[in-house]
Structure 1
Amino acid sequence: MTTELRVLRAAEWQSWYGQLELAFGGVAEAAEERELWEALTECERSVGVWDGGVCVGTAGAFGFRVAVPGGAVVPAAGVTMVSVAPTHRRRGILTSMMRRQLDDVRSWGEPLAVLTASEPDIYGRFGYGLATRRMRADIDTSRVRLSVPDGTDDVRLRLARPEEAAAACEAVYARSVPGRPGMLERRPGWERLPLLDPPSEREGASPLQCVLAERDGDVAGYALYRVRPDFDAEGPKGTVVLEYAGALDPAADAALWRFLFAIDLTSRLTMANRPVDDAWQHLVSDIRRCRVAWRDGMFVRLVDVAAALEARTYQVPVDVVLEVADAFCPWNAGRWRLTGNGKGAQCSRTDDAPDLALSVRELGAAYLGGFSLVSLAAAGRVRELREGALAEASLAFGSPVAPWVAHGF
């Protein structure tokens, strides 16, 4: 049998997405979920593999802009909706889609590709490195107390319908993007994602609820959450399920956490995706009873090494020659001299002796400042070729704020 790889046509979206659903278990999504993803899909940036009239492979690429250290928001392809039919595995279909996709991203002039992975061991061979983590927590709010900063009592909290508060929540989110590497600038239409609320996804919890933190009439923070009621012989033991939250200052942030900790008839607060440096960890009386854990977040792939390294700034001045290996995108392979500081950077090819040797995968892992070059070197993934270069470059590549992506895509 022969297959054809080509750009997705809008009229084919239903069968294309149906293949994706089948690959992820065959459970049909709620109509509102399907409608949203159809509206957000950029067909001209998506490909499918067809065997006759049957779709057997899918891959998309949203046109995103992602925050990087220094506050710039850089064009990036948001790789998404990748699947191969179980009948067509091990035939090179995934590799062919990744090849086509990265060639396209390069032609679009986007220096980065990013993704969140259903299975994290898939994408390393295509040059993607784990660059962000997401924190999970399950807090016993009946036994954990909060110590809040001065000014918290000056913050007014107000319940609001999520749809009515959406614009205010999006304004807080937009102001937060440049300050945290990895956050995605939300394009028109993406403001609908936090409001997606199909009953099939609630797992016994309430419809989405919203609380706003206000100061002098201006919204300074928000939380979108659900409540899952539960009772036993001893009384109520409901759970607050935090979906999204954001705040512009410590007092507004603390006011929101205090609210979430104290909702009536609940004794637990759970969250599945928060920054690993979230401030509430410094407010709680007993971190052990918060059952903190983390899992992988976003993977980053440098499609254009020079443009990507020039797009961000560096914590301290750096002048380093990188020997980069990149078998899948050979235009990146070779030696690059990076010079930069807190104001900007330049990166160009050089014949000078290399100071560090690494693959593009490790460069992606370190790019947002979430994983240090020193830790990658300890794993044997980065080699120091000039004494002192590793410590210098590792400090420069760091970020004072942990990188994080607020939602999947």
Structure 2
Amino acid sequence: MATDNGTDQGDHGTGSGAGHGTARKSDHGPDLRVLRQSDWDEWYDSLIRAFGGVPEALGERELWNALKETDRSIGAWDGDACVGTAGAFSFRLTVPGGASVPAAGVTMVGVAATHRRRGVLRSMMRRQLDDVREWGWPLAVLTASEPAIYGRFGYAAATYGVNVEVDTARVQLSVPAGTDDVRLRYAAPADVLDACEAVYARRVPVRPGMLARRPGWERTGVVDPESRRQGASPLQCVVAERGGEVVGYARFRIKPEWDTAGPKSEVLLQDTEALDAAAHAALWRFLFEIDLTSTLSAQGRPLDEPWMSMVSDIRRCGLRVRDSLYVRLVDVGAALEARTYQAPVDVVFEVEDDFCPWNAGRWRLVGDAKGASCGRTTDPADLALSVRELGAAYLGGVSLASLAAAGRGRELRRGALTEATVAFGSPVAPWLPHGF
């Protein structure tokens, strides 16, 4: 997870950060040092307290302990007390064109309430981005509990998700040919975990913003503490099969409810993936038609998910859009070279980046659907913008033209804004499939 008041939580990985075991004195007091395994319990307790102090279930805590990347995590220490936490996972992020690019998944960021307004968060963000650059990763990403926090460090919302609350008593689906050829069956979530993860892995290259999961991460999808259930059932799973092959899955809970008129239970969808249109339709039709239910709720679904084009009444689907993944270009040149562009582009950016000044200056991007190059130049600038605008537009879900219309960017060569806006787009909406 990630926060904005100096409190962030997320997912973990492995790696070796610079300065392992050393402490660096901050100008504001607390010492920063790479996390040691022996300090993890105190470090994690400090994080939990920053998020309100409600303990996690034992299984959740053990999972994060197993997934954490100690060498990529730092703590701020005031004497013997941990007063700040920040971690990073070793992710690979799908970008337009399908490449899987190294990205630091910033996570578990928290500052003790006793040490607010002392520059602790800023010092951790400074250290972390310096480390990410040293690791040679072009991107850092996070999810923000409070969006106002991370803009000052160069992060910007690059993907959005839609929360839905479908009135399934009134909304029907029109499904494509082949849907009835898909077989659905219940399975214990843990029993089909490998098959579901294989489906997920095949989906990762298709949509920008998706994360290639390292071994062990698949377990996050089946952790099922009672605290997550919101009064609903334990986690259930249905798999979609064709010809004996698993081609999709849905994991969900049922929240029973009755009134004097009868049952009106709710389906709480946790996650679902499918390899083709028929499997997708079969799973969503199943979720719409579960007996004794009248509502289907889900959070953070893709903005262009196919089922939205199958419904009889989109107004009764309760759509609400929310920001999701925040992107920070740590190395502008490497990041822009890593993706492709849906139309030819040759444009010079004048980039402003106060927090990572190595990015500031002019960069010439030349690219198309086959690849790109991006390097320093002394040519006249075509567009002037900050690294935040580049981060927002990077995955193709936010328009450079819309940012410029909001005063976040200036066109210096006539036509350059349209050229870049079209080139940066994506044929499918970028999407973050889960938090970290």
TM-score of Structure 1 vs Structure 2, range by shorter chain: over 0.9
Quote the residue 2:307 is aligned against.
280
Give the drift of 1:310: 0.3
Aligned partner (choices 73, 93, 105) of residue 120 of structure 2: 93
Note the residue ranges of structure 1 that are not aligned, 5 or more in a row: none
Q: Give the partner amino acid of 2:96.
A: P
Give the drift of 1:2: 3.6
Quote the residue 1:339 is aligned against.
366
Deviations for 1:208-231, whole angstroms, at most 9, x for unmatched residues? Answer: 000011111111110000000110
Secondary structure, counterpart of 1:150 in structure 2: coil
Moved over 4 A (4+): none
Does 1:185 pair with 2:219? no
Q: Distance in 1 between matches of 2:319 and 2:145?
A: 21
Q: Distance in 1 between matches of 2:278 and 2:175?
A: 8
Quote the residue 2:267 is aligned against.
240
Aligned partner (choices 359, 364, 369) of residue 396 of structure 2: 369
Give the drift of 1:302: 0.2
Deviations for 1:145-182, whole angstroms, at most 9, x for unmatched residues? Answer: 11000110111111111001111110110000011000
Secondary structure, counterpart of 1:162 in structure 2: coil
Give the drift of 1:273: 1.6
Q: Distance in 2 between matches of 1:188 and 1:214?
A: 24
Secondary structure, counterpart of 2:384 in structure 1: strand
Quote the residue 1:352 is aligned against.
379
Does 1:401 pair with 2:401? no
Q: Distance in 1 between matches of 2:250 and 2:357?
A: 45
Q: Give the partner amino acid of 1:304.
A: D
Give the drift of 1:399: 0.3
Does 1:54 pair with 2:81? yes
Q: Distance in 1 between matches of 2:328 and 2:136?
A: 14
Note the residue ranges of structure 2 that are not aligned, 5 or more in a row: 1-27
Q: Distance in 1 between matches of 2:97 and 2:409?
A: 24
Q: Distance in 2 between matches of 1:274 and 1:201?
A: 18
Q: Distance in 2 between matches of 1:52 and 1:14?
A: 17
Q: Give the partner amino acid of 1:6.
A: R
Give the drift of 1:201: 1.4
Deviations for 1:347-384, whole angstroms, at most 9, x for unmatched residues? Answer: 00000000000000010000000101011011010110
The correspondence of residues 6-405 of structure 1 with structure 2, limited to 5 A, is 6-405=33-432
Secondary structure, counterpart of 1:33 in structure 2: helix
Quote the residue 2:22 is aligned against.
none
Q: Distance in 1 between matches of 2:370 and 2:288?
A: 41
Q: Give the partner amino acid of 1:220.
A: V
Deviations for 1:376-406, whole angstroms, at most 9, x for unmatched residues? Answer: 0110101100000000000000000100011
Deviations for 1:243-277, whole angstroms, at most 9, x for unmatched residues? Answer: 00000100000000000000011000000121011
Secondary structure, counterpart of 1:164 in structure 2: coil
Percent identity over paired residues: 69
Q: Give the partner amino acid of 2:315.
A: R
TM-score by length of 1: 0.99
RMSD, aligned α-carbons: 0.7
Q: Distance in 2 between matches of 1:3 and 1:315?
A: 47
